[in-house]
Structure 1
Amino acid sequence: MFKIRSTKNKTIKLLFAFSFLAQIIFAQEPSIKGIVVDDVNTPLEFASVALLKPQDSVMVSYSITDSKGQFEILDSPSGEFLMQIYFSGFLPYYTTINFKNEVIDLKSIQLKSNVESLNEVTITAVIPVQIKKDTIAYNANSFKIHHDDNIEDLLKKLPGVELDGEGNLSSQGNEITKIYVDGKEFFSGDPSIVLKNLSADAINKIEVIDKKSDEAELTGVSDDQKNYVINLTLKKSKKRNGFGKLSGGIGLDNKYFSNLNYNKFSPRTQVSIIGKYNNINVTGSNIKNFLSANGGLTDDSDDNGSTSSFDRRKRSLSGNLTSGVGGFHIGHELKDKEVINADYFYNYLENVGTSITKRTSFTKLKNFQSDINDDNNKTTHNQHLNFNYENKRNSTSRLLVKGNFTTEKTKSDLNRDVFYYNEDGELRTFNDIKFFDDRRRDNGNVRINYYKKLNENKRNFSTGFSFSSSKNENLKDQYNLNTNNSNNKTTETTILKNELFKNNNINFNFNYTEPLGGNHFLKVQSLFFVKHGSEKTDQVKFRNSVEQTPLNYSIKNKEESYNSKLSYNYNTPVFNFNIDSEIQHLYRSFGLVTEDFFKKNQTYFNPSASIRYRPKKGSQHLLRYRRQIRSPRASQTSPVINDLNPYYIRKGNTDLKTEKIDNLSFNSNIHNFKSSLSFFTKINYQHTQDAIIQSLVIDDDYVQTRSFLNKGSQDRLTAELSLNKRVKQLGFRYNLKTKGTYRTANSIIELELNDVTTKEYLLGASIENNRKSIFDIKFGANYTINKTEFSVVEGLDREYIKQHYYSKFDYDISKKLNVNTQFDYYTYSDSNFESNQNIPFWNASVSYTFTKNNNGILKLLLIDILDKNVNIVRRSTINYFEETTNQTLGRYVILSLTMRLNSQNAKNMKKKKKKRF
């Protein structure tokens, strides 16, 4: 009897608990919901629903209607708001909402068609988000910005738009390749320039556009060449008047900076000027690309292929960095749809810094340690000119002309001390290296493309031509003093080397598309590519003050490629399928001008295919396969031994074959506009046949001789996933990301095959608040682990871990006073180096707007408050791994003043706000 009652009591308790849980789960949460229909009660999908503050129309929350016209707002604070519903082609709908954390069901809301001319309400309505065709438009007035915010700060607040720490911009998981201003190019559309040099308060609307290729736009035949661009529409007041900013700051330890940007736009002409000069390691605009190619100094030991994917070798920009930028852009619309643009930049960079590298090198018989201490002084002058011409006046044709020219002068002084230790930790060899490099590079290119639509059935052809030329002059003066402790032998080597490299490339293509009926198309393509290169070298070498035989030679190389491709394309708005069959004939000749040339003549079959599926707006999937041929580099086939550095000697191999690369990739992007969920994934697999690998021999004096050969295959698999979701109930947004790389590589070390396998993983998570009208909070963490396995030596496998924790807090104490603080914490651990470190970085700023019209801003900057002054970079390669510690700028404090130029005054702003509704 007792057991029966006990069982019954348990059942009753379970039923009660289940009932209570069901009430929680199925209870209606406080929300504002409804259904949007047209004037015949048809549901409207992608209508924007927004809650606005009545006093300034700043957006509080928003939602998008689904396929049934339904919407629901879950994350609204309590209070009185103006609700706005908008759909293109209909008049906006307004109603006042007094939300008290309860369910408000507005039932069916009918929008009226805008059949008459636009009235004042329609013109001045603030529409936070609009979605139409391939464009998502955000109204800049619906987002809270500071007086000194630039475009970068504004874009970070847009739903679905992300900007990572390296300046890469994406929307709904798609990379943004260009940014336009009023539909026109601004400094060649380079996002890194636009983001930091236009004021956020000058922007009226931000459009994210799923842009087709130029050929697809004209002909209507879609392809898989998609670009995602952002178009910034200026406020009317900014189109009539010039605007910009002038700022400068000075601080402790003689630190300073200055910035200038000024813009003048009219319906036909756009003029912009940019200037920057500082010594606080801020590289400015249009300097990022040439820094990545020219920062720091390397030697031939670096030419062996890093197996790390996320933390590739960074060129040393440590220590003190003084940089200057000056540039201008001019764009002019000659006639409707006929535009010419040009921009010019001058960049100056002086880098003085030190770094310490610990390296473990290995062979089949031995491994050894080395310490490398670098003291670097480098100065670079760079000038860059871009221009382009577009003629889209004719509805059946399109002409595009683009070109650029760059000239660069660099002088580098490097003092390097290298200490070699045997397996027992004993110092065996010491190298004292002094290296001077005086280099000049000139290159330019011009590209012309013409597209022609032949009839309304989408029959079309296109043709293109490009020419590029480059010239590189190097004067290298190197001094080496080698001391061998085992035999007390000292060797002094001095080398003076003059090098001249020239390259000319010509590319011509012709494409013809024939409609087969319905959505089927046949395309014939022809491509002709010619590359001419030459190398001339004069080298004088002294060994222990005795002159060696001079090394004087001239090399020429030529490569010609003829490609014929036949393609079938099936094209609908939802589905696109393309399959290509290409025949490539490749001819190569190279060698010393005083000897017979080496000649290679080969024919290849290169198939490719792609499938693009777009089931609905905000969702698309792309699967692509491609076979391509890659020729050896000139340095890999050079018949001359490069011994500029006598301890890193490089030999070419004239018998090298081309590499055959099969590339398979899958991209998927899903963005749910109603729930604000973004999901992005990218998977890529690459298989290389006849892979060019290195053969390495290391003698007892630690002299490394490197050559190349074709051996087997290499594989690389990468995967990336990102999930971004707005949690309406809790009022925050979270972002999860993960990356993974698996790579196999080979080398020959001391005649033994070295198989290298690298596995690298990254996990990241961050949380930030949705409503940023008063404060902006963000915190997160990244965890990266690298595992590298070597077959040449047992027990030498490596594992290193990097952890990064960060937080950001931005708070508007008042309309004029703002505080901002950022804190980063790094931890480094390594299975092969005793250098586990914990490094905190703390930055902060306080800004105050001190003028009536908000044109003047005072800011106090505190950088690296804890003064840790260090940066760590790691990598693993096919025959060594290393860890480099770079000196950084360290702690400094700066007080700055920013003045907005020709800004609209506050009185005019208030007058416009009164007329808004």
Structure 2
Amino acid sequence: MKKLLLGALMCLSALFACAQTPTRFQIQGITADTSSGPLGSATVMLLQRKDSSLVNFTRSNDKGAFVLRNVKKGDYLLKISFVGYIPFQKDIVFSDKELIDLGTLEMKAITKELFEVVVKTARAPLSIKGDTIEYNAASFKVPPGSTVEDLLRKLPGVQIDQDGNIVAQGQQVRKVTVDGKRFFGDDPKMATKNLPAEAITKVQIFNDKSEQAKVTGVDDGKKEKTVNLELKDGFKKGGFGKVTAGLGADGNNSRGARGEIKGNYNKFDDKNQFSLIGLTNNTNQTGMSWDDYQDFRGSGSFNSWNDNGDFGFGGGGGRFFVIGGDDDGGLNIPVGGGRGQGYSNNVAAGINYNYNGKKTKVNSSYYYNSTRQVLDALRSRENFLTNGSFKSQEESSQINFIGNHRLSFRYEQMIDSTNTIIFTNNSRLNGGNTSLNSLQQYFQAGNFKSNETTIKNATDVDKMETANTLIYRWKAKNKKGRNFAASGSYGYVQNDGIADQNSLNLFYSANSANDVIRRALDLTNNTNSQVNELKSSLLFVEPVSKRVFWESFINLSRRGNFVDRDAFDLAQESGRRIPVDTLSSYFKNDITYARIGSAVRYSYKGFNISGGMAVQRFGLDGKFALGQNPTSFINVNRTFVAWIPNVSVNYDLKNNRYLWSGYDVSVNQPNVRDLQPVIDNSNPLYIRQGNPDLLPSVNHSVNFGYNMFNPASFTNLGLNLFYSYNVNQIIYNQQVDPRTLVTVTTPTNISGGQSIGAWMNFGFPLKKTKSNLSVNANPNFSRNLTYINGVLNETNNDSYRFGMRLDLTPSDNFTFFANANWGVTNSRFSVNTAQNMKIINHTYGGTMNIKLPKDFFINSNLDYRIYVNNRFNLDQRLPIMNASIYKILGKAKKAELRLSVYDVFNKNLGISQFANQNFVSQEKVQTLARYGMLTFTYNMRGMNTTLKRRGGFF
């Protein structure tokens, strides 16, 4: 019994002793210089001694004090860095006390003598200098062969969505540079998706000044979140790149084998950048993040602020961009599927060269891509009328081919310290064809089929576009802020095409099954269109005082449009093409635009406010006619004058806190096609007619925003409120025949449409370097107006979107990223409240990475989508899972062999649903589903597999 009591007492003593020994510690101290002056905002990091990985971090306050809480006992090194001082490091010794007070830690300033001293210190995973955060890429390990995008996912404070869009410190990244130079233009994803992570030594994230502020020297208060990738010295000499080839099989055995080849090559030095990229596949990967190139009539982006030669504050509407300009005759058949839908064969290749000298800068690139896309779709739609509704169903098969050549060139020459000349050229040569087979059926009340249309259409289009701009800039040498700029631009578009339209329309009678009206259409449309545009602009900025600046500008342009469209009825029995004057049209118009304005800006200690007013004038001189050899024309001569106010406020609250607000008015002239007083009945069920009395639409918008980032805790908060109101908004008045369901649309002006909404994001670490959580919300309320059979219909959409993201990186051997997004839209219709509905779109996703022994890796991701719409009896749940296992091969670690399975559950189906004004629609597109792929990758530089325990919670 005594032994039992003695044992119990010993156990209790041990438990008491353990209870007295702390398991978590608090480390505190004060950073100071050698004269005991406090060093505020010093970066304080706790590192694992064995591999220098980041465990915890913070910043000292204004008095130099810092605290690291909730620290586990371990073998640590404390490292402190401050600009202009030698990095300080100290071993952490644990005792039986919970508080570890390091006292005052003195840092020595870097002097000329100390430049010769070799200081051996652990390289910090990150350093914070003002609003710039610099990451040591070597401290954030990624699997071999990873891209920069994979590296960025690991960095504290950085998030990347499934499309490759980057959010850093709660803000969208607008620009990614490589060694301070642009990479393939201004698309951030071109660098992050194509450069290897192993080539990067540092990643710098900061708020850069806008291009306007850089050019004029006048701070406009606007910031652009920027990522700069600094290359390792070894990658600045010689070349680096990789090639991947894969072969697989379709799990459904319906479309044959799957294959892909892709690669890139890069060669950089201090002044030159040379890059090659290319791909070919039939796996729906339509490009290397060049989304703009997938749009056949899309616009080409210019390289920099005012590279298009337009000066002054916003207002839009009249400063035309030739590439992707106004209507070209309407030859294109709308594509039903979006990016990645259907089945596509893709080819893309590009070459980029940049030269960055002291006075001369050259940026040039050529890019080609082609896509052949097969879209088999089922669509349903319900249109609401004043006294009911009608439904339509469509089954279609469509094949699209798009081929684009694009050339971009920018040359900048600094003549001296005050004079600069810039020349830009953006050109594109496009070719495409489309074939469409469609069966459309319309049903009235009681499920009575009122009409049916069989369509066989084809188009063949060739288009050439070019835009050229010359800019001269001057800034005073002895008067800061005084600037002058002048520009001249010329643009040209040539668009030729042939459209074959074949349809059979059957109109059924409710009284007799034999009473059927047949209307056949067999047409060919030949269209030739041209656009010529001349532009010029002047800008002058004068400092009124050190804090006040006056800006004045003039924008002038003249644009000529010419379209000649000839329609022919194909008389099969005679083999002749009979001209159809009612569908043939000719128009020629000249549009002149002039805008003059002034603004006054006050800028001092982070507070920036600007207010201005401009007056702009549109002049339209056009003539329209029907028929192929018209003898009489309809003239349209219109002049529009509008006043454009503009107010913006930006306030840098210091410590990475920003506040902004603004009021802007934009005026947009009517589309030329909408102004044509002609009727287009090439689709007998959907007839369009123009309205020459249209007025320009005016949009008033107000916004307010706040952004905060705490570099000590890596907590960020973003908030944006916005409101817009439309005056003379151009909507399409609809007249629907209740018997045949033929719809006639006419553009009309209407006022009252509006939207109000908010966006909020809050992110914070659950545990520094190990996990992070962010939540977001985006409520939006809109009111849209349109006329239906003479009755005003008001559609109100209340949209609620919420999201969460969780990132777990407990070790280099395992990472997990999860996200959830919930979306609910309530649509209400005034003309028929019985048709009100709720649309639900939810998505859940996750990505997991596992490192196994012997250089084996496992990667998997799941995208679970939920679509619910009770009005269509839709309740679709689609789990899309991809998984792969791969191994690094060879002693030099230059090769990878990967086995992948895409859409493991065979559930991929392109679904979309939409509600607007007086209709709701749903679409399902057959899309590439389950297939397997075996790929081999060779990396010129090799793949480093020495993974260490690293810091960072991404």
**Are 1:646 and 2:684 counterparts?**
yes
User: Which one of 727, 734, 741 corresponds to residue 702 of structure 1?
Assistant: 741
8 A Cα contact 1:174 1:228, kept in partner: yes
> Quick one: structure 1 residues 766 and 54, their matched pair in 2 at CA, closer, same or farther if it must change by over 3 Å?
same
Paired residue for 2:346?
A: 323
Post-superposition offset of 1:219: 4.0
Root-mean-square deviation (CA, aligned residues, Å) is 2.8
User: Which one of 459, 466, 491 corresponds to residue 437 of structure 1?
Assistant: 459
8 A Cα contact 1:847 1:860, kept in partner: yes
Residue range with higher mean Cα deviation, 204-213 or 232-241:
204-213
Paired residue for 1:166?
A: 163
Q: Which has the higher contact order (CA 8 A, sep 6+)?
A: 2
Paired residue for 1:609?
A: 647
> Quick one: structure 1 residues 322 and 614, their matched pair in 2 at CA, closer, same or farther if it must change by over 3 Å?
same
Distance (Å, rounded) in 2 between the aligned partners of 1:75 and 1:899: 45
**Are 1:478 and 2:501 counterparts?**
yes
Paired residue for 1:7?
A: none
Q: Secondary structure at the match of 1:216?
A: helix
Post-superposition offset of 1:906: 9.3
**Are 1:577 and 2:609 counterparts?**
yes
Q: Secondary structure at the match of 1:156?
A: helix
- After superposition, what is the alpha-carbon deviation per residue over 1:838-894, rounded to whole angstroms, capped at 9, x for unaligned? 211111111211222322112121111000131210111222111111211111111
Q: How does 1:454-533 map to 2 (within 5 A)?
A: 454=476, 455-486=478-509, 487-533=515-561
Aligned length: 869
Distance (Å, rounded) in 1 between the aligned partners of 2:526 and 2:123: 64
Paired residue for 2:927?
A: 888
User: Which one of 44, 52, 56 corresponds to residue 49 of structure 1?
Assistant: 44
Distance (Å, rounded) in 2 between the aligned partners of 1:215 and 1:802: 40
Q: Letter of the 1:47 partner, please give it.
A: A
**Are 1:288 and 2:283 counterparts?**
no
- After superposition, what is the alpha-carbon deviation per residue over 1:776-803, rounded to whole angstroms, capped at 9, x for unaligned? 1122311101111111223111211011
Q: Letter of the 1:176 partner, please give it.
A: V
Distance (Å, rounded) in 2 between the aligned partners of 1:152 and 1:855: 20
> Quick one: structure 1 residues 291 and 127, their matched pair in 2 at CA, closer, same or farther if it must change by over 3 Å?
same
Post-superposition offset of 1:392: 4.8
Distance (Å, rounded) in 2 between the aligned partners of 1:695 and 1:403: 41
- After superposition, what is the alpha-carbon deviation per residue over 1:808-861, rounded to whole angstroms, capped at 9, x for unaligned? 221222472221221222222113101211211111111211222322112121
Distance (Å, rounded) in 2 between the aligned partners of 1:360 and 1:734: 41
Q: Letter of the 2:663 partner, please give it.
A: Y
8 A Cα contact 1:555 1:591, kept in partner: yes
Post-superposition offset of 1:663: 1.4
- After superposition, what is the alpha-carbon deviation per residue over 1:629-663, rounded to whole angstroms, capped at 9, x for unaligned? 11001111112212222211111100001112111
Paired residue for 1:265?
A: 268
Distance (Å, rounded) in 2 between the aligned partners of 1:740 and 1:503: 41
Q: Letter of the 1:531 partner, please give it.
A: R
Paired residue for 2:897?
A: 858
User: Which one of 608, 615, 622 corresponds to residue 590 of structure 1?
Assistant: 622
User: Which one of 849, 855, 862 corresponds to residue 888 of structure 2?
Assistant: 849
> Quick one: structure 1 residues 880 and 50, their matched pair in 2 at CA, closer, same or farther if it must change by over 3 Å?
same
Residue range with higher mean Cα deviation, 497-506 or 239-248:
497-506
Distance (Å, rounded) in 2 between the aligned partners of 1:267 and 1:742: 51
Structure 2 alignment gaps of length 5 or more:
1-18, 251-256, 299-326, 510-514, 626-631, 949-954
Percent of aligned positions that are identical: 27
Residue range with higher mean Cα deviation, 462-471 or 753-762:
462-471
Post-superposition offset of 1:42: 3.0
Q: Secondary structure at the match of 1:196?
A: helix
Q: Secondary structure at the match of 1:217?
A: helix
**Are 1:554 and 2:592 counterparts?**
no
Distance (Å, rounded) in 1 between the aligned partners of 2:29 and 2:416: 46
> Quick one: structure 1 residues 596 and 730, their matched pair in 2 at CA, closer, same or farther if it must change by over 3 Å?
closer
- After superposition, what is the alpha-carbon deviation per residue over 1:274-295, rounded to whole angstroms, capped at 9, x for unaligned? 1111111112225411325569
Paired residue for 1:802?
A: 841
Paired residue for 1:14?
A: none
Distance (Å, rounded) in 2 between the aligned partners of 1:904 and 1:132: 32
> Quick one: structure 1 residues 275 and 549, their matched pair in 2 at CA, closer, same or farther if it must change by over 3 Å?
closer
Distance (Å, rounded) in 2 between the aligned partners of 1:853 and 1:47: 41
Post-superposition offset of 1:733: 0.7
Post-superposition offset of 1:374: 1.5
Distance (Å, rounded) in 2 between the aligned partners of 1:201 and 1:331: 22
> Quick one: structure 1 residues 478 and 36, their matched pair in 2 at CA, closer, same or farther if it must change by over 3 Å?
same
TM-score of the superposition, structure 1-length normalised?
0.90
Residue range with higher mean Cα deviation, 736-745 or 478-487:
478-487
Distance (Å, rounded) in 2 between the aligned partners of 1:53 and 1:854: 27
User: Which one of 113, 117, 134 corresponds to residue 109 of structure 2?
Assistant: 113
Q: Letter of the 1:67 partner, please give it.
A: D
User: Which one of 712, 715, 718 corresponds to residue 757 of structure 2?
Assistant: 718
8 A Cα contact 1:80 1:99, kept in partner: no
User: Which one of 145, 151, 154 corresponds to residue 154 of structure 1?
Assistant: 151
Post-superposition offset of 1:146: 1.4
Residue range with higher mean Cα deviation, 102-111 or 238-247:
102-111
Q: How does 1:373-384 map to 2 (within 5 A)?
A: 373-384=395-406
> Quick one: structure 1 residues 315 and 809, their matched pair in 2 at CA, closer, same or farther if it must change by over 3 Å?
closer
Q: Letter of the 1:603 partner, please give it.
A: V
Paired residue for 2:281?
A: 278
Q: Secondary structure at the match of 1:91?
A: coil
Q: Letter of the 1:718 partner, please give it.
A: G
- After superposition, what is the alpha-carbon deviation per residue over 1:577-603, rounded to whole angstroms, capped at 9, x for unaligned? 101121222222223275252112232
Q: How does 1:732-811 map to 2 (within 5 A)?
A: 732-811=771-850
8 A Cα contact 2:174 2:224, kept in partner: yes
Residue range with higher mean Cα deviation, 726-735 or 824-833:
726-735
Distance (Å, rounded) in 2 between the aligned partners of 1:283 and 1:72: 50
Post-superposition offset of 1:213: 3.1
- After superposition, what is the alpha-carbon deviation per residue over 1:204-238, rounded to whole angstroms, capped at 9, x for unaligned? 11122322234422443111453332211100011
> Quick one: structure 1 residues 729 and 582, their matched pair in 2 at CA, closer, same or farther if it must change by over 3 Å?
closer
Distance (Å, rounded) in 1 between the aligned partners of 2:107 and 2:348: 52
User: Which one of 74, 78, 86 corresponds to residue 79 of structure 1?
Assistant: 74
Distance (Å, rounded) in 1 between the aligned partners of 2:403 and 2:429: 8
Q: Letter of the 2:418 partner, please give it.
A: T
- After superposition, what is the alpha-carbon deviation per residue over 1:681-711, rounded to whole angstroms, capped at 9, x for unaligned? 2222111111111111122222211111112
- After superposition, what is the alpha-carbon deviation per residue over 1:98-139, rounded to whole angstroms, capped at 9, x for unaligned? 679954332322211111253575698623323335533222
Paired residue for 2:878?
A: 839
Distance (Å, rounded) in 2 between the aligned partners of 1:273 and 1:544: 51
User: Which one of 556, 565, 568 corresponds to residue 600 of structure 2?
Assistant: 568
Structure 1 alignment gaps of length 5 or more:
1-23, 304-311, 911-917
Distance (Å, rounded) in 2 between the aligned partners of 1:255 and 1:808: 24
Paired residue for 1:901?
A: 940
Q: Secondary structure at the match of 1:187?
A: coil
8 A Cα contact 1:47 1:130, kept in partner: no
- After superposition, what is the alpha-carbon deviation per residue over 1:729-757, rounded to whole angstroms, capped at 9, x for unaligned? 79421010111221111111111111111
Distance (Å, rounded) in 1 between the aligned partners of 2:866 and 2:897: 35
Distance (Å, rounded) in 2 between the aligned partners of 1:142 and 1:401: 42
- After superposition, what is the alpha-carbon deviation per residue over 1:602-627, rounded to whole angstroms, capped at 9, x for unaligned? 32221111110011132111101111
Paired residue for 1:9?
A: none
TM-score of the superposition, structure 2-length normalised?
0.86
